[in-house]
Every structure is written in structure tokens, then in C-alpha cells.
Structure 1
């Protein structure tokens, strides 16, 4: 090395420059500087570090094993460092979730829908189920004003039956009534007047159905009793609602009258005998299933993990026929192979109901067939009551969960 006061030769300058550039590149590769690999990526790129879990541990992490006695490995591993010793990062990553999460619609109709939610945690799937049952609002009959009821159905039972009839109207067009006066924006009024005429010598019966409920767009027709005897007789008589305008004059209802559509028309309310009569008014308001089940928009909604049926060995001929006949839902099928032999195949694994009939023979059965469930793949089913289509219900559930998350974030910040 030359002294400070002595100039270096040209060869010494090149040697020192090369050593400085090498040391800089080494420090950058270890610290993640520039465009080189970061510290964790550098360690994971070393040849002796495992890059993924062993197959048996990967199965335990992603599958539920349904043995003959009980399922095992049912829990989901949430801890980010659970597999750190094996070089597996188990932490939740938003980019990974966006890449892998998807929804595939398998069946759709006006009343129900079945779709697959893939790449989601069980807690989120259950959150959607609970929101659909208890927090998506609908319109339902809350108050029943009975003027006459001579049927065999008691008043309180009749009111309860009316409340459970789904109304074909979009609840998003209405406001919550709360303690406000009933108006055209928070209340729907229906009238029911059914009578079974008495004819001498005949035994008549009349069935009262949901289509006998007639929508009153101008509000209640039952007068509100007033104790003031000095009230002005020329003023407009007060009713149980205070509509400022007719509901059928509003643009959302002008060409879409409120009522009961399709199969909802045939819901039976009561059956009248000769001379019996029902006259009443029913007032519907907006609410959620958490308050009462009549506001729940779904008949039911549920999910199950995707079944996975794996043959651990070749099953042929007589044993194949035996296992196929054991399955009540037809998961297995028989395939013809060479020399007249037959082989068992898994044709419809999605239909598996986990009855375990194929593994009832103890250890021998479990050695042939493995029944599993995929932990992050859910078959979700929604059955609508008829108020809203099932796809709209799920979209509303997503919006409610989003608003809950925003509320938590705002409260924490």
C-alpha cells in the first residue's frame, strides 16, 4: 500500500478499485440493497435450506382427514411462524390472497344458488353465513290491525303467520321505521278481507292465500280513534299512517307494484268455513333477522368443505363392485380394463356426504380409500325466501362485512 503522500501506480489503483467493487456487491447481496435479493430471499436461495413442507405436513395443513372413528387435523394453522424451521412462511399475505381467491358459480336459479369459494378462511365463510341469516334487511309484516276474525285461527297466530310471508320488494328502497311515524318511505300497508258465504244445505270452504293481501299505496284505511270530541269534522280523518303521497306515484313503484310474486302467491294464510270472515290491515316495515326470524332473507344458507376422495391402491373386480354398491350417492364408478378386468374409479367426489360406508371395514378400508376435505375450498349454498335473488343477497352480505371492517378501522384509528 502506498503512503498517503506518495501517489499510487496505475496497477495498484486498478487492484484497489476491483476489491472495493467486490466488497460492495457482497454487502448489497446480503442486505438486499439495489435490485439484488433481500435477506430472507437470499437465505432461502441457499442449497441446504428446504423450500417447501414435506408432503405429509402439507396434507395436514391443507386437508381434513375423515377417518372411520373421527376426523383429524381439523384446525387451521394461523400462526405465521408455525413452519419457520422448514423455511415455510405461513403468514397471511394480501397479494397471495388476491391471486388465489376466486368464486365459481355451480348452480343458479331464482330461489337458490350454489357456488365455490376458494382460497378463503373458515372464519370468513362463517361470517358470510351469519350475516346472510341475521343482518341483511328485508321487509316483513310487523303490525296487524284486525277488524274482524271469526275463523278458527286465533288473532295472535294469524298475525304470526302473516309476518312470516316473504314480500317481493327491494328493502333497499325503504328506510328503517325506528320511532318515526309510518310514511311512504318506511311502511307498506296491505288489506285483507276474505269471507266464506253461508249457503243452506252446503258445506263450503274457502282458502285464504297470500294473493288475497291487497297493497294500499295510499296508506292505511282504518281511522285512528280520537278522544277529542271538538275536533273539526271538515278536516281530513286521521289514519294509522301519514303518507304524504301515494307509493305508486314514486318512480320505483310506478311500474313495479308491491305484492307477492310467483310461488309466494300460493302461501296459505287460513281456511274459512261457512259464514267465517277475516278483515284486517297489515303494516310491513324494514328489519333484520337478528331482531326476528321473519326478517331473515334466506330460508337457509350453509357451506361445507370440498370433499376429496382418494384411492390409495388399485381396487379391482369383486372388491370394486362391493365398494361401488356401498356408496349411497354414487361417488364411485367402474372402468373396464384389459383382459375383462374392472377397476374402481372416483367419478363424482363432490357428491360425497361423508357417510364413511366405504371405510367401515376398519383399517383395511382406510388403507384402500382416503376421505378428505379441503380446508380452504367451501361449497356455499344460499336459499332465498323470495324477497331478493340469492346473488343480490350475497352481494349485500359482502357490503355489510365491508362496512363492519371500515367501522373497526375507524374506531382503532
Structure 2
């Protein structure tokens, strides 16, 4: 079945099922892979880019490759995170293990590409494979203010933030890095609350690893993809029905415009933002007016970095890792 009669393979969303709309020509889903056709059809289009977030389209690519990139980003692209916490003094109400877990989840600015993996867990930490920090803080009464009931006025250092973590350079690190380049990404991450008499004295060791080892080493807050939605109006919808049709979709998907006769009609403005709710099938008079589908080789990919590396660099690292894994597999097959 091919409702659209073009070279795109689609999944058509019916009220209670999904059916396939086969393409008229060869696609990435064909059994025989042709590198020349892949190069002609494959494309990357950056839709939105910020330092910490990127949204781009992968066009003409098999879902298995897209999912491989997603999994590599989450599990194999390395980052730096606090791994060891030496507790010299902790008189707060937070248990040592809970405190260590919270510290490990604080994202660091340090670029993992500049460090080495630790191959021997029993070996001493070096300036090439680790970063050392300290967190030393004590809560006291604020003697300057006595007429306030606010904790921030009554006490000093009652809130412990990530900005209180100080870098202790070792070896040649002071010549290579600056504290602003290796410390916590955000200064206002709350670690603990204290009262007079509470004190923290900790030494923190950050190492290089990946999300496969622990989620705290994943360089992204999330990385996900979805198929590009497509909406086709099969007939003109006007008046009150057009307003109902507009409310069936996410904001910005359906627009209402005036035609030459002055009637308000529904038009597809941007199907990209549709979340495929299929609410339109609730109305008997609108069911036959719309064809909902998803293009099966067009992916909307979103990466949200925690801040150590920009989102586009993370994707490039994932591509490089996939290439290394493929070369390693080829070497194994040849031996």
C-alpha cells in the first residue's frame, strides 16, 4: 500500500492500528545496502543549536544506526565525575554514603578527552587520570544579626553549594588547567543544609569513565530521537470544524487562514511539532479529513548536554566511537 506514491516509506497512524505505506523505490530498509545510494540520500540538517542542546534531523538512515548513536552517547562517551570521597569529618544529618552519592552527581567542567582511563584501580592517582577537590566548610552563628528569624540571616554557611568545592591541583595540572575549567558546571547546586556545629571536611577524587560504568559519567541529561510526523489534509476543513481540528493537535501544527472567499480554513503549518495524539479520530466528521503518518527514515534527534562538552561535540564523539568499534570488528574477523 502506498498512499503518498513517493520514495518515502511511512507508518500511517490509523485510529486503532498502524499500517505501512511502502515506497515506490529502494529505501534504507532494503536487504541490499548500497553505499552510493546511501551517500546520495543521507543528510543532516541542524534545526536548533544551543551550547547545551541541539536538535537536528538525520535523513535517509536506518533506525539501527540512529539507535546506535543514542546508546553510544548515553553509555560510551566518557566524562569526568567524582568517584571517591574521603570523609575526614561529617557532622551533618546526611549520611556519608548519601553525601558521596550526591557529590558524584554534580557535573564537572573538566574535558574528559584531556585525561586517561585508570587501568589499575590499586595504583596511585596521577595528574593524568584524576582531579582532586576538597570541600571544607563549617556552619556558625551570625553574630552581626540577632533580630531576624530567617535561617540565611541567623547562620553563616548554612547552605552548602557546589561553589564551595575547591580544586587542588596536583603535579603539572596548574600549568595545564584553570579552576574555572575543571570545577562544577553550576555554582548553585545545593549539596547539604547545616546548622551551627555542623561541619564538612572532605577530599574528592574525580576520574574518567562512561555511563556504562555509572549514570553519573554520562555526558548528557538525555539523548533521544523520534520519527518525523507528517500530516496531510485530504479535503478542505472550514469554520467551526477547522477550529476543532486545530485543537486536536499540538500548538503550531494546524493554522487557520482565510481563503479567497473569506472563509476560515485549516492548513498544516508545521507537522514537526505534532506528538501523534490521534485526537482527531474522536470526531466522526474529521476522521476522513486527515492522514497521519511518520516518515520511517527521517529522525528528529535531540541531545541535551550536562555542560562538560557541547552537544555537537558529544555527537561527533559518538560517531568516532562507532567507527572504532567497526574497525575493531573488522580486525577480529580478519584474524
Point out where structure 2 has 5 or more consecutive residues left out of the alignment. none
Residue 257 of structure 1: how far off its partner (Å):
4.3
Greater Cα offset, 313-322 or 199-208: 199-208
Pair 1:309 & 2:203 matched: no
C-alpha change, 1:134 and 1:271, in structure 2 (3 Å) is: same
1:70 Cα deviation from its structure 2 partner: 2.8
Counterpart CA distance in 2 for 1:385 and 1:288 is 14
Partner in structure 2 of residue 267 of structure 1: 189
Residue aligned with 2:182, SS: coil
Partner of residue 160, structure 2: 208
Relative to structure 1, is the Cα distance of residues 74 and 383 closer, same or farther in structure 2, using a 3 angstrom cutoff?
A: farther
Map 1:251-330; keep pairs closer than 5 Å. 253=177, 257-261=181-185, 264-330=186-252
The alignment status of 1:373 with 2:325, answered yes or no, reads no
Contact 1:192 1:281 survives alignment (8 Å): yes
- 1:222 is aligned to none
Q: 1:246 — aligned with what?
A: 172
Residue 92 of structure 1 and its aligned partner are, at CA, apart by 1.8
1:121 equivalent to 2:73? Answer no
1:193–1:278 Cα contact (<8 Å) kept = yes
Q: Against the structure 1 CA distance between its residues 172 and 75, is the aligned structure 2 distance closer, same or farther, given a 3 Å change threshold?
A: farther
Task: Name the counterpart of 1:346.
Answer: 268
Q: Does 1:144 align with 2:95?
A: no
1:14 equivalent in structure 2:
none
Question: In structure 1, the residue corresponding to 2:205 is in which secondary structure?
Answer: strand
Q: Which has the higher contact order (CA 8 A, sep 6+)?
A: 2
Contact kept? 1:67, 1:366, Cα under 8 Å: no
Secondary structure, in 3 states, of the residue corresponding to 1:266? coil
Partner of 2:320: 399
Q: 351-360 or 126-135: which moved more? A: 351-360
State how far apart, in whole Å, the 2-side matches of 1:337 and 1:198 are.
72
Change in Cα spacing, 1:142 to 1:337, as seen in structure 2 (3 Å) is: same
- Number of equivalences: 320
Deviations 1:245-287 (A, max 9, x none): 231123xx269642124xx111111111122111100000111
Give the Cα separation in 2 of the matches to 1:196 and 1:254. Answer: 28
Secondary structure of 2:206's partner?
Answer: strand
Match of 1:131 in 2: 72
After superposition, the CA RMSD in angstroms is 2.5
Alpha-carbon distance in 2 for matches of 1:145, 1:121: 47
> In structure 1, how many angstroms separate the alpha carbons of the residues matched to 2:198 and 2:90?
8
- Look up the match of 1:187: 130
In the alignment, the residues of structure 2 paired with residue 90 and residue 310 of structure 1 have an alpha-carbon distance, to the nearest angstrom, of 30
| Deviation of the 1:211 alpha carbon | 1.2
Taking the aligned partners of 1:338 and 1:248, their CA distance within structure 2 comes to: 71
Q: Is 2:41 the counterpart of 1:100?
A: yes
Counterpart among 5, 9, 32 of residue 62 in structure 1? 9
Equivalents in 1 of 2:22, 2:141: separation in Å? 66
**Shift in Å at residue 178 of structure 1?**
2.6
Instruction: State how far apart, in whole Å, the 2-side matches of 1:318 and 1:185 are.
Output: 68
CA distance in 2 between counterparts of 1:293 and 1:210 reads 19
The answer to whether the 8 A contact 2:250-2:274 is kept is no
Flag the structure with higher strand content: 2
* 2:245–2:286 Cα contact (<8 Å) kept: no
Q: List structure 1 runs of 4+ shifted beyond 6 angstroms.
A: none
In structure 1, what is the Cα distance between the partners aligned to 2:266 and 2:50? 34
Give 1:378 shift. Answer: 0.4
- Pairwise CA distance, 1:361: 2.6
